[in-house]
Chain A
Amino acid sequence: MTLLALERVSKSHWRGRHEIVVLDDVSLEVEPGELVAIFGQRAAGKSTLLRISAGIEQPDSGCVRFEGTELGAARFRRLTGIHARIGWVGRQAPFASGMRMLDHVALPLLRSVAADEAERGATRALKRVGVGDLANARWHELSDAERTLVTIAHAIVRDPKLLLADDPTSGLGIEERETVLGLLRSIAEERGMAVLATVPEIPDALHSHRVMSLSDGELIQATRRAAGEVIAFPQRRDGRA
C-alpha cells in the first residue's frame, strides 16, 4: 500500500493582499522502502511540502493520506498515534542544551517505554547511524555532520514508517553528504521505511531511488515508466501556466 500520498495539494501564504503560491497542485506518492529526494532551491516550497506531509500544516486544498488515512482528520485524534509513525529530521537543537546525546535520542521513546529500555533503544539508534561514540557528547561539541547523524538517530529511534528529512545535507561537505544520503537510503531499504528528503543541490539526489524537483510551488517528477506500462495522454495544466 502507498504509505504517503499527496493528492493535488495547494497551499498559499498571504503577505497583505499578495498571495504567494507555495505549493501549486502537487501530487506525489511514496512507497515503503524507498528514498525519494526532492530537489529545490531556497523558497521553493520544500519545507512546506514536508510540513504538510507530516500533518503539521494543513493544505488549502487537496488531501494528504498516510497509510490510507487522511492526515487532516487524524490531526485532532491523538490516540491514533500517527505521529509516532512519522520521524522528522530537521535542524533543531536538543530540548535542553546540556543533554547527553544518548538522552536526547532516548527522549522520544520515554513516552512509551521505561528509561533503561529507552536508553538501549537510543544506543542502538546511535550505533546504527555510525556515531555510537557520541553517546556522552553534548550538542555544542559536535560538528555539523555529527549533528545531522544524531538528528537522524533521534528521528529513527521510534522506528517510524515514514521519515521526513528537511535538507539533511545542507552545510555539509561532499563526502559527508554522501554518507548522510547513503545512510538514509540503507535505512529505508533495511527497515522498509519510506524516506522523503529534500536536498538543496541536485547531485545529492543521485543517491535516491526517485528524484523530483520543486520550483515555484510546482513539482516535477522523472518521466519514469515501467516496461509495458500504458502511458496516459499528457494532460495540460490549468490556465495559470
Chain B
Amino acid sequence: MSVKHAVLGLVIERPGYGYELIQRLEQRIEGWRPSETAVYPALRSLRAEGMIRAREATADGGVVSAHRGVVWYDATDIGREEFRAWVRAPTDLAPQRDPFWLKVAFASPEDLPWLVELTRELEAACLERMAELGEQGGGVEDLRREEVEWQEIGQAWLRRTEAAQLAVRIEAVQQIRAAMKRAIQRHERRRGPALAPPAAPDPR
C-alpha cells in the first residue's frame, strides 16, 4: 500500500503532526493495518519532495498551543497536485501477499494437520474482523440519503470491499480445509495413521 499517499491525503484534508496523523490513518484505513513506523519516513520524504511543509507550533501561529514544539505539516500546492494526479492515475492489480497461501503451496502432507489448525485460526480472525466492520455501519440505504458527503460514502465502500474480500477468504479457507482433510485421510490410508494431530501449538 502507499502509506505516502495516504499520509499526503490526510494532510491535505487538514494539517496534522506525526502522532495525530498515525491515529487518523488508523481510523481511516483501519483494515489495511498501516504500520505506525511507516508514517514518519513518509512525512520526511514528502517534505523532502516539497509536497508538505513543516511549521513549528507557536502560541500565535494559529495552532493549538497545547502542542507547542510539535511539528505540524501543511500540504503545499505541489503536494495537492501530486495527490490529485495519483488519485486519477490507473492502479495496478495488487498481488496476493498472504503468506498462508505460500505455506499451502509448499507444504508437505506431514504439515497438513498444522495447516488445518491454521485455517481455523485464520477463519476465526476473519469473522472477528467482519464483526468489527459490521459495528461501523454504513448500510446501502444510509448511503443513498441525499445529504451524505462523498467522503462518507467512499469510507463506507472501503469497508464494504474489505468485507467482500473477507468473505472470499473465508470461503477459500473453508474449501482448502476440506481439501486438506481429504488429503490427510488419503495419506493415512496409504501410510497408516502416522499423521497424529499436533500435540502443541506450532512454534512459529
Chain A residues near B (Cβ < 8 Å): 39, 41, 174-175, 178-179, 182, 201-203, 205-213, 215-216, 218, 220-224, 234, 236-239, 241
Contact = CB atoms under 8 A, between A and B. Distances in A.
Interface string B173-204: 01101100100100000000101111101000
Most buried by A among B160, B167, B198: B167
A216 B178 CA distance: 7
A203 B165 CA distance: 10
B134 A208 contact: yes
A213 B134 contact: no
Nearest to A41: B171
Interface of B: 112-113, 116-117, 120-121, 123-125, 127-128, 130-131, 133-134, 139-141, 160, 163-164, 166-167, 170-171, 174-175, 177-178, 181, 184, 193, 195-199, 201
B181 A220 contact: no
A125 B14 CA distance: 49
9 cross-chain pairs, A with B, having the tightest CB-CB distances, nearest first: A202-B167, A215-B174, A222-B127, A222-B128, A206-B134, A223-B124, A220-B123, A211-B127, A223-B128
28 contacts: A41-B171, A175-B141, A178-B141, A179-B141, A202-B166, A202-B167, A202-B170, A203-B167, A205-B130, A206-B130, A206-B133, A208-B131, A210-B131, A213-B174, A215-B177, A216-B177, A220-B120, A220-B127, A222-B124, A223-B121, A223-B124, A236-B197, A237-B197, A239-B196, A241-B116, A241-B181, A241-B195, A241-B197
Nearest to B174: A215
Contacts of B121: 223
Contacts of A221: 124, 127
B34 to A, nearest CB: 22
A203 B177 contact: no
Contact of A175 (B123, B140, B184, B201): B140
Contacts of B124: 220-223
A196 to B, nearest CB: 16
Nearest to B139: A178
A213 B126 CA distance: 10
Given A202-B170, A236-B198, A241-B197, A212 B127 contact: yes
Contacts of A209: 131
Contact of A182 (B127, B139, B166, B199): B139
